[in-house]
């Protein structure tokens, strides 16, 4: 028995398996990787920019991170 597949609105769809599962070429893989990298880089830049914009005292809080690191080094004896 053949498996029935449905689209988002409930209509049965016949997929051409050879077209759906076609292997990607090296250029397509490279473009996919480049696009994904660009997208997540922009996400990181936007998140950091928003953090700096909405928390103007963010650079002043780095001393807390340094103090935490020194405490951890003291506790673990390194």
- Look at residue 78 and tell me whether its pLDDT is greater than 70: no
Give 73's pLDDT tier (boundaries 50, 70, 90).
confident
User: Are 37 and 30 in contact, with CB atoms under 8 Å apart?
Assistant: no
Q: Whose structure tokens read 């880089």?
A: 41
- Look at residue 72 and tell me whether its pLDDT is greater than 70: yes
Cα torsion for 30, 32, 38, 39, to the nearest 10°?
Answer: -170
Q: Can you tell me the mean pLDDT for 11-27?
A: 69
Q: What pLDDT digit, counting tens, does each position of 36-67 carry?
A: 999 999 999 999 888 878 877 777 777 888 88
| pLDDT for res 46 | 94
């Amino acid at each position: 028995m053949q498996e029935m597949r449905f689209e988002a609105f409930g209509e049965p769809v016949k997929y051409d398996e050879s077209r759906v599962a076609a292997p990607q070429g090296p250029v397509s893989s490279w473009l996919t990787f480049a696009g994904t990298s660009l997208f997540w880089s922009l996400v990181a830049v936007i998140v950091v920019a928003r953090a700096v914009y909405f928390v103007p005292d963010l650079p002043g809080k780095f001393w807390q991170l340094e103090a935490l690191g020194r405490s951890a080094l003291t506790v673990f004896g390194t």
